[in-house]
């Protein structure tokens, strides 16, 4: 995985594109990027004045990443260029996305007449967490046989449409907000996307359908659009639910009609919130035979750009938390001990902890609304009462109480107290809670807004903060995928932390190497330690860690074009003696690296001397018969040098198994120990040769 950095203020296109020496333009970064590259954009304006050339074409497999948590605030792409569409001729667009490309966390504007922000043609990219605004025609145009994923964006003040999908396009339009534009979403020709959990408000029309469009509409909030909520023309046939699949759309306060059917066909509506008096044309309102699905977090009227919206959304999706009847979530409201117990009881189903409370308290009567939840949360060890036998269910919960609760309930241990220096207000942490806070921090449970280094331990916790804490607890326990947020507390680089290495056998190797800025994780806070490593990724890692001097001339591999993302790294690793090609002059960059190849590579590149007692050393391994003859000398040398790390049994070399990211990290760290560049780590999986 390659990373490139761009800063329109401090960067130069003659730089290397690193975090310390970024490029000036996204144009330059795109020219250097290949599949697997992530381009990080710094705050600033990316326009013609900053030397950008439009349209910007994001290649297949390339991720352009700004700030997803703010929907790209202050990371602004402004511009327009000519593009000749195979389906619509000459167009003026800001960005073109190819299949597998991702655009995340930026603001896009194309203000020229008939200008389009993002153009997607017969491709399947991802457009997520962006702001697309003030475009001369539409924010996003989708055509051909495209199947994009368009989610969690804000589209406003675009002249014609927020999102316009035509021809035979499909794909998914999820959790977007379209407002103050012509049509929030327009679907035409034979396009048939899934449109779900979007909020379409204060437009001329919420959704406009024409020709033979056949979208599926689920759980959308369509309100206060001046001409109409859903306008259906031509021979369009929207899917508005069935008796076994109620749609759950909400239509209200739209101008001429909430649903306006201008076709000769009868529309079937099942499970939608729809006033019959606000229906125009032939629409049959049927009843659902199953419950109508709940609304998503993006439909809460008070969330908008709230920092905790992602966490809330994930819990709503799991039916673990809900809002209020007035369509609000009240993210900044305080939460009581009883309300907290109810969320805990719904989220976790753990056995009773030894020594935990019985869950019976003298101020919680048997008919109290949360009595069962309080009892369950208490017996699981998440909460306890006070010395006087009370629970005080209506008392507000503090942030420190919530952190201690989750750590205790999940039975988490092993926090390093030194990590607390990260917090500027650490003096406010009660002494009884220091271990719990340290553990919570290393487990990435702590989410602090607006300053990640301010814990505010004694302040009353809010509903949004509880949602974030509970979701991070699910991530830590492997029950949910990590989400990217700048407010997850991450200590300084001397104690790095990733969301998926807690209790992993290689955790300390990973943290130490990461602290040296020699390895990195992924944008969602994970490291993916058990993912296999291919030959090109390993070459890039070798160059990053050792930057080897050449010991032989360069060569040309037939399957490594000059513009391949790892071309330079492969040449450097080859010239340094760490890697070689195959007899047919190929390199096989995507081939998974095996553990035996990892060992022979390090022995060769580091010129590790042979072991004089080779047979004795090899007898350490119970599976020595599986070691290829050609590699036995290298295995003995690597073992003697202390390079070999083998999990779960140090007596099993597993030579033909794929080398994982954790394996490579551990071996490379041991190589640095051998070279005297780092201190040794105590691990039962380091193979010791006497």
DSSP 473-541: HHHHTTSS-----TTB----TTS---TT-TT-TTHHHHHHHHHTTS----TTS---TTSB-BHHHHHHH
**Could you tell me which residues come within 8 angstroms of residue 598 by beta carbon, excluding any fewer than 6 positions away?**
538, 659, 663, 664, 667
Mean pLDDT of the chain: 90
CA count, 13 A, side-chain hemisphere, 365: 2
Is residue 204 pLDDT above 90, yes or no? yes
506-532 pLDDT, tens digit each: 998 998 888 666 888 886 778 899 999
384-393 long-range contacts, CB within 8 A, separation 24+: 384/356, 384/357, 385/357, 385/361, 389/361, 389/362, 390/361, 390/362, 390/363, 391/337, 391/338, 391/361, 391/363, 391/364, 392/337, 392/363, 393/336, 393/337, 393/338, 393/341, 393/363, 393/364, 393/368
Dump pLDDT digits (tens) for 319-370: 888 887 677 888 999 999 999 999 999 999 888 776 667 778 989 998 888 8
Where does residue 319 rank: exposed (0-12), middle (13-18), buried (19+ CB within 10 A)? exposed
Q: Report the percent of the chain where pLDDT is more than 90.
A: 68
pLDDT of 495 > 60? The answer is no
The span from the CA of 337 to the CA of 374, in Å, is 9
Element (H, E) at 185: strand 183-187
Say if residue 176's pLDDT is above 80: yes
* Segment 121-136 mean pLDDT: 95
Q: Cα 165 from chain centroid?
A: 26
Q: Give the other-Cβ count within 10 Å of 503's Cβ.
A: 11
The 3-state DSSP class for residue 303 equals coil
Residue 422's pLDDT band (boundaries 50, 70, 90)?
confident
Q: Which phi and psi angles does 578 have, rounded to 5°?
A: -85, -30
Residues whose CB is less than 8 angstroms from the CB of residue 679 and which lie 6 or more positions away in sequence, other chains included: 673
Residue 96 has pLDDT above 60, yes or no: yes
**CATH node for 1-181:** 2.160.20.10
* Rounded Cα–Cα distance for residues 338 and 336 (Å): 5
Long-range contact pairs involving 564-571 (C-beta distance under 8 Å, separation at least 24): 564/34, 564/536, 564/589, 565/2, 565/33, 565/34, 565/35, 565/36, 565/37, 565/536, 566/2, 566/536, 566/537, 566/539, 566/540, 568/543, 569/536, 569/539, 569/540, 569/542, 569/543, 570/535, 570/536, 570/539
Q: Is the peptide bond before 450 cis (omega within 30 degrees of 0)?
A: yes
pLDDT above 60: residue 469: yes
Q: Is the pLDDT of residue 287 over 90?
A: no
Name the residue among 154, 224, 146, 226 with its Cα closest to residue 189. Answer: 146
Residue 642 per-residue DSSP state: T
pLDDT at 420 over 70: yes
The full set of domain ranges for the chain reads: 1-181, 207-293, 306-476, 535-674
Report the distance separating Cα 589 and Cα 663, nearest Å: 19
Rounded CA-CA distance 558/602 in Å is 24
Q: What is the mean pLDDT of residues 303-327?
A: 84
- Alpha-carbon distance of 390 to 373, in angstroms, equals 16
């Amino acid at each position: 995985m390659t990373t490139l950095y761009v800063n329109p203020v401090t960067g130069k296109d003659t730089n290397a594109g690193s975090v310390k020496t970024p490029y000036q333009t996204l144009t330059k970064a795109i020219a250097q990027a290949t599949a697997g590259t992530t381009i990080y954009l710094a705050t600033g304006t990316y326009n013609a004045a900053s030397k950008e050339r439009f349209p910007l074409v994001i290649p297949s497999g390339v991720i352009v990443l700004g700030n997803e948590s703010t929907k790209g605030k202050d990371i602004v792409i402004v511009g327009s260029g000519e593009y000749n569409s195979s389906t619509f001729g000459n167009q003026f667009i800001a960005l073109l996305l190819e299949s597998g490309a991702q655009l995340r966390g930026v603001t896009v504007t194309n203000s020229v007449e008939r200008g389009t922000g993002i153009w997607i043609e017969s491709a399947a990219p991802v457009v997520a967490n962006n702001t697309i605004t003030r475009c001369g025609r539409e924010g996003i145009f989708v055509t051909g046989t495209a199947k994009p994923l368009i989610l969690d964006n804000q589209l406003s003040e675009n002249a014609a449409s927020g999102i316009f999908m035509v021809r035979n396009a499909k794909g998914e339009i999820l959790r977007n907000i379209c407002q103050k534009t012509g049509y929030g979403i327009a679907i035409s020709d034979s396009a048939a996307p899934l449109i779900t959990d979007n909020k379409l408000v204060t437009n001329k029309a919420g959704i406009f359908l024409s020709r033979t469009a056949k979208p599926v509409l689920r759980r959308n909030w369509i309100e206060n659009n001046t001409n109409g909520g859903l306008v259906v023309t031509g021979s369009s046939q929207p899917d508005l639910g069935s008796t076994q699949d109620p749609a759950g759309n909400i239509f209200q306060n739209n101008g001429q009609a909430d649903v306006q059917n201008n076709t000769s066909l009868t529309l079937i509506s099942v499970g939608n919130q729809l006033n019959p008096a606000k229906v125009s044309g032939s629409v049959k309102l049927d009843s659902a035979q199953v419950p109508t699905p709940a609304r998503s977090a993006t439909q809460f009227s008070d969330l908008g750009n709230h920092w905790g919206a992602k966490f809330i959304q994930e819990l709503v999706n799991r039916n673990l938390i809900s809002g209020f009847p007035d369509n609000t979530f009240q993210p900044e409201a305080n939460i009581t001990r009883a309300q907290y117990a109810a969320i805990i009881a719904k989220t976790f189903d753990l056995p009773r902890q030894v020594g935990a409370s019985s869950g019976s308290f003298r101020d919680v009567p048997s008919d109290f609304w949360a009595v069962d939840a309080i009892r369950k949360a208490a017996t699981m060890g998440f909460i306890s009462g006070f010395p006087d036998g009370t629970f005080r269910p209506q008392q507000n919960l503090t942030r420190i109480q919530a952190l201690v609760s989750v750590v205790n309930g999940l039975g988490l241990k092993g926090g390093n107290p030194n990590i607390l220096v990260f917090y500027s207000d650490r003096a406010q942490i009660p002494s009884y809670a220091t271990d719990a806070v340290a553990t919570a921090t290393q487990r990435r449970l702590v989410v602090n807004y607006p300053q990640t280094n301010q814990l505010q331990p004694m302040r009353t916790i809010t509903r949004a903060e509880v949602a974030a804490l509970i979701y991070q607890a699910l991530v830590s326990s492997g029950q949910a995928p990590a989400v990217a947020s700048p407010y997850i507390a991450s200590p300084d680089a001397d104690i790095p932390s990733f969301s998926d290495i807690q209790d992993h056998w290689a955790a300390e190797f990973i943290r130490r190497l990461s602290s040296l800025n020699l390895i990195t994780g992924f944008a969602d806070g994970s490291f993916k330690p058990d993912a296999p490593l291919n030959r090109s990724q390993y070459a890039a890692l070798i160059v990053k860690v050792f930057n080897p001097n050449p010991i032989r001339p360069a060569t040309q591999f037939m399957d490594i074009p000059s513009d391949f993302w790892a071309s330079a790294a492969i040449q450097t690793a080859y010239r340094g003696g760490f890697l070689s090609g195959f007899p047919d002059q190929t390199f096989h960059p995507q081939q998974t690296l095996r553990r035996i190849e990892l060992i022979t590579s390090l022995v060769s590149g580091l010129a590790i001397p042979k072991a004089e007692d080779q047979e004795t050393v090899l007898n350490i391994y119970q599976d020595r018969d599986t070691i290829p003859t050609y590699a036995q000398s290298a295995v003995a040398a690597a073992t003697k040098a202390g390079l070999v790390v083998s999990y779960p049994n140090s007596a099993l070399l597993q030579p033909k198994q794929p080398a994982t990211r954790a394996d490579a990290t551990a071996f490379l760290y041991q190589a640095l120990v051998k070279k005297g560049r780092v201190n040794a780590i105590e691990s039962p999986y380091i193979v010791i040769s006497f």
